[in-house]
A and B are shown apart, each in its own frame.
Chain A
């Protein structure tokens, strides 16, 4: 039985994929879980395709190799579909969550994919409305935990409040919380 849940984040440099992988980890730790979060270490440039990873487990995580068979994939930028193989290593029962205005069936068609569960959410729109900037990373956490049941919404929100306290003004914190809640409610499955 696989004891570690592995998440792969796809984004472009500047979209906050690395931050999202860390926030998911700290939220999981708030549920007393063991975690790892790390970026794919390559050249970091604005706009270039990047990956980051989160591991979550009830037991201490010993493994230190790359994530090759993630249980879930989160795509922060729909223009990566067709550019990057976002389904690489994802098992049949795996989950994909895409930031897009399109429906899951349209994404399935684009990926020409059988199996796996596909969810979509227009996280950029939500972020633009709640934060005033199209930063999709925090709402994508909301969509992911709803789609997979990975973590409890309340714990995630409390953790984000703690992590952001002192770093951002209240308006930004409130905006992120609202964006996460909305994505949690608005995410669509097939």
Chain B
């Protein structure tokens, strides 16, 4: 396999994936920290290196509406957004998913207003977790690039046909330069293949109705099918990952286990903070501490049994959430994980730590502190505080 190793930002890596995918339509509206992604891609459009129709709309609501229209017409469609932009798309996110339109959308994670903040947290995509989209989170620029390419295959698989969001952390990844291995254009093109639309609106030989009224007679059946469809995407996500490994030599699953198998305590955390946590795991392992990490990759569909099993042997775990579920028991990851462990029947002692809201840094010292707390819980058998906030002034 031939690769090109470059130093680029997460946004540049994502826009390069767009270029190689060469979608029929991209409809997007700029928002920090997503802006450079679409801006870079618009240069590929202007230079004529892609055949994409780039629709510069007047809002994110229009961006997602145009994506729905273009995807229903039979095109391969992509867009990208962040935070308030995703919030403005909210209504149409559900329409895209329930219409089974395989739109691929990177979301560069950013805190939702208010107060207004442009930095990273996961409040935007966690708020959209029940919209019916597949959600894949990326740790770094390499994973963002790889996940966007895989997302096309997952979304368009005949057994799935659902929209996919690919997340990476705003600024930390979107604006940071890292070393990224890019695949050849031909390799990517062959991997994603030609898109075959199911029921294209533009097929005038077979006229169809899209988005009709669906009341108490059939709405429920359609929602029931939708629930089944996203569940069924799990094996497809794994198949696509397996094939992707053949072209990239990089391995992906539903989640990543890092020194988890023989660990006694572990942290569960999404995206870029998982990288920092891995560095701490390395350091503590060198000192003989049996610590590990579980980094969820696919949050929708949530692989609850697999995750609960992977954690079942641990003595204590800390689930880190970069968003708050206001008035809820804990963060969105925490409640899902607790519930999964109950179903599996083995429940390690556990705590929830809310961190990093609005871009607040989480460093190695913070993470060391979490592992120390887990040690204490194992020793004493007691949890002092179930849901905690890390790095906040109180």
Residues of A participating in the B interface, judged by any CB pair closer than 8 Å: 22, 25-26, 29, 34-39, 41, 60-66, 68
Contact of A41 (CB < 8 Å), options: B171, B272, B275, B362 = B171
Look across to chain B and name the residue whose beta carbon is closest to the beta carbon of A64: B272
Asked whether B177 lies within 8 Å of A62 as measured between CB atoms, the reply is no
**Which B residues are in CB contact (< 8 Å) with A60?**
179
A83 CA to B276 CA in the complex, in Å?
Answer: 31
- Residues facing A in B131-183 (CB within 8 A) are 140, 169, 171-173, 175-179
A29 CA to B5 CA in the complex, in Å?
Answer: 9
Interface of B is mostly: mixed
CB of B261 within 8 A of chain A? no
- Residues facing A in B358-383 (CB within 8 A) are 359, 361-364
Look across to chain B and name the residue whose beta carbon is closest to the beta carbon of A38: B176
Asked whether A36 lies within 8 Å of B278 as measured between CB atoms, the reply is no
A36 CA to B363 CA in the complex, in Å?
Answer: 16
A124 CA to B308 CA in the complex, in Å?
Answer: 59
Residues of B participating in the A interface, judged by any CB pair closer than 8 Å: 5, 7, 118-119, 140, 169, 171-173, 175-179, 272-273, 275-276, 278-279, 282, 359, 361-364
Asked whether B276 lies within 8 Å of A65 as measured between CB atoms, the reply is yes
A62 CA to B272 CA in the complex, in Å?
Answer: 9
Asked whether B7 lies within 8 Å of A25 as measured between CB atoms, the reply is yes
Asked whether B7 lies within 8 Å of A22 as measured between CB atoms, the reply is yes
Asked whether A63 lies within 8 Å of B276 as measured between CB atoms, the reply is yes
**Which B residues are in CB contact (< 8 Å) with A38?**
171-172, 175-177
Known contacts: A62-B276, A64-B275. The answer to whether A41 contacts B175 by CB under 8 A is yes
Asked whether A37 lies within 8 Å of B172 as measured between CB atoms, the reply is no
**Which B residues are in CB contact (< 8 Å) with A63?**
275-276, 279, 364
B32 CB → nearest A CB, Å = 10
Known A37-B7, A64-B176, A66-B363; further 8 A-B contacts with Cβ < 8 A: A34-B179, A36-B177, A36-B178, A38-B175, A38-B176, A62-B278, A63-B279, A66-B361
Look across to chain A and name the residue whose beta carbon is closest to the beta carbon of B278: A62
Known contacts: A63-B279, A64-B172, A64-B272. The answer to whether A35 contacts B362 by CB under 8 A is no
Look across to chain B and name the residue whose beta carbon is closest to the beta carbon of A53: B176
